[in-house]
Amino acid sequence: MENLKGLTNRISDTIWEIPKSADPDMNVPVHIYYNEELFNNLDNGVIKQGINVATLPGLVNKVSVMPDGHWGYGFPIGGVAAMDAEKGVVSPGGIGFDINCGMRLIQTNLTRDEVQPKLKQLIDELFIAVPAGVGRKSDLALSPRQLDDVMVNGVDWIIDNGYGWKEDRLFMEEQGSIPDAKPELISHKAKSRGRNQIGTLGSGNHFLEIQVAKKENVYDQDTASAFGINKDNQVVIMIHSGSRGFGHQVASEYLKTFLDNMPKYGLKIRDKELAAAPIHSRDGQNYLGAMASAANFAFANRAYMMYKTRQVFSKIFGRDAEELGMHLTYDVCHNIAKFEEHLVDGRKKRVLVHRKGATRAFPPNHPDLAPQYKEYGQPVIIGGSMETGSYVLAGVEGSMHEAFGSSAHGSGRTMSRSRAKKQIDGKELEQKMHKKGIYVKAASYKGLAEEAGIAYKNLDSVVKAALDGNLTKPVAKLLPIGNIKG
DNA sequence: ATGTAC
């Protein structure tokens, strides 16, 4: 393929623009938030997909690609696109197969010194308590009525059933429950896949990790303290997972329906993977109701894994999870579409923001934030590879103007899964990690090899681009000491 | 990402 980089103009240190003039069908420009290093390795596919997305009807302002952006299904992963709520479309490819895949950060008041002697025991027990890997089932099997409840109420079902604390919902995007879910639109097949998947980790890049916040890696102590990180070598837990086979089934079914029905809506889409329907059409409304159901399932999934995590820590340290300070810092989605108000041509407008592999990053004083975070901005949780570490950042005003209040979500792969499997021996990697002080337990060595640090972009560089691009502010880098993987 | 293929 010809090199498409020539279609971009660098309009600032951190933004490469594909102007509307690059293609007659583009409705808005594309802004890629990169730095020199990331741009040098920019994949043609991202430019191509950015242009394709920019041709969708009803787009406002621009399409944004986050610093971890890479080629994905239809939309780039790391893509943000907002459509006029009245005149726009919804596109499942702009949300992703794993609906409401997201991150969760849990505090403890423990330090590394206290955790280290029990690390192996913790990880071994977590590996049992949180089923990891493809097809693994939960100890919780929901009745049809309970599953409907989860789809409508998300984390509230978890809390009402004694698996979570009342306060947990305050520290979640949408308070852990997205309105207007429609369980009656979910197929029997999706329901039967989902009923025993609450509290399961999954595979691929999903993980549950024990991490350490070293003092030297805390960049903003006030904000870190507000997020519950206030002592040197404090231990935190990060969970990355989504809606499992349930959300995947929902996404697959609606993608097919959208594709079949597109001619009906007179939509001309240049890539099948961008299948879309008008927001106000029956298909559009149905998908949004199904998406909300899967999103609430994912909130409940991560919340139940936290319940298990609190139990394991509590058992091993012989103290209540409350005594161990195991509060939720935040739970944030990075595969979802949401109705939000944003400035368009100087006026507030209701838009449907698609975030695919992009984290919501609302600034201080945003009405959606818990009072405890009003002064500091929304916690933005960025998961890195299991060898290199992760970050917690905070939302800033700039991102509202740049990218509908969004930031990056992870480091982004540089090596395909198949190449990583060929090139890296999982067993050797496990030993190497143990020597480095990271105790890892994976459902399969192949799965482990795929997630090796060298298969990923440099997360420090991605985060630096997100900070320089005024999408977020730095709070703390978190280093892994224990990890379970699917 | 995914009972990794209808």
Q: pLDDT tens digits for A156-181?
A: 999 999 999 999 999 999 999 999 99
Burial A299-334 (b: 16+ CB within 10 A, else e): bbbbbbbbbbbbebbbebbeeebeebebbbbbbbbb
Give me the pLDDT at residue A1, please. 60
Determine the Cα–Cα distance for residues A241 and A299; give it in Å rounded to an integer.
Answer: 9
Both tokens of residue A30? Answer: 């594309």
Domain ranges of chain A: 4-96+339-360
pLDDT digits (tens, 9 = 90+) for A99-137: 999 999 999 999 999 999 999 999 999 999 999 999 899
Both tokens of residue A195? Answer: 């009923």
- In the 8-state DSSP scheme, what is residue A218? B
Q: How far apart are the first and last CA of chain A?
A: 35
Give me the pLDDT at residue A333, please. 98
Q: Which has the closest alpha carbon to A272: A255, A286, A284?
A: A255
Interior angle at CA A358, CA A278 and CA A454, nearest 5: 135
Q: How confident is the model at residue A74 (pLDDT cuts 50, 70, 90)?
A: very high
Query: Within 7 A of a protein CB, which nucleotides of strand B?
Result: 1-4
Burial of A222 (0-12, 13-18, 19+ CB in 10 A): exposed
Straight-line distance from CA A405 to C1' B4, in Å? 34
The arithmetic mean of pLDDT across residues A35-52, rounded, is 94
The arithmetic mean of pLDDT across residues A293-317, rounded, is 98
Straight-line distance from CA A129 to C1' B4, in Å? 25
Nearest residue (CA) to C1' of B4: A134
* Owner of token pair 């480095």: A436
- The CA-atom distances, in angstroms, between A485 and each of A67, A102, A117, A131 are 25, 15, 21, 9
Give me the pLDDT at residue A195, please. 97
The arithmetic mean of pLDDT across residues A289-299, rounded, is 98
Determine the Cα–Cα distance for residues A292 and A153; give it in Å rounded to an integer.
Answer: 10
- Whether residue A2 has pLDDT greater than 80: no
Q: Are A339 and A179 in contact (CB under 8 A)?
A: no
pLDDT digits (tens, 9 = 90+) for A355-383: 999 999 999 999 999 999 999 999 999 99
Nearest residue (CA) to C1' of B3: A135
pLDDT digits (tens, 9 = 90+) for A409-429: 999 888 889 999 999 999 999
Both tokens of residue A251? Answer: 């996404």
pLDDT digits (tens, 9 = 90+) for A173-205: 999 999 999 999 999 999 999 999 999 999 999
* Owner of token pair 């991560």: A302
Q: How confident is the model at residue A431 (pLDDT cuts 50, 70, 90)?
A: very high
> Nearest nt to A335, CA vs C1'?
B1
- Whether residue A269 has pLDDT greater than 90: no
Q: Which has the closest alpha carbon to A155: A170, A140, A144, A142?
A: A170
Protein residue ranges contacting nucleic strand B, Cβ under 7 Å: A 97-98, 101, 134-135, 189, 192-193, 197, 202-206, 241-242, 244-245, 248-249, 486
Q: Which residues of A are catalytic?
A: 409
* Owner of token pair 């992009």: A358
pLDDT digits (tens, 9 = 90+) for A148-157: 999 999 999 9
Q: Global pTM?
A: 0.98
Percent of chain A with pLDDT over 90: 96
Straight-line distance from CA A232 to C1' B4, in Å? 42
Straight-line distance from CA A296 to C1' B5, in Å? 29
Determine the Cα–Cα distance for residues A267 and A214; give it in Å rounded to an integer.
Answer: 52
pLDDT digits (tens, 9 = 90+) for A76-105: 999 999 999 999 999 999 999 999 999 999
pLDDT digits (tens, 9 = 90+) for A376-397: 999 999 999 999 999 999 999 9
Both tokens of residue A376? Answer: 């500091």
> Nearest nt to A192, CA vs C1'?
B3
Both tokens of residue A355? Answer: 């975030």
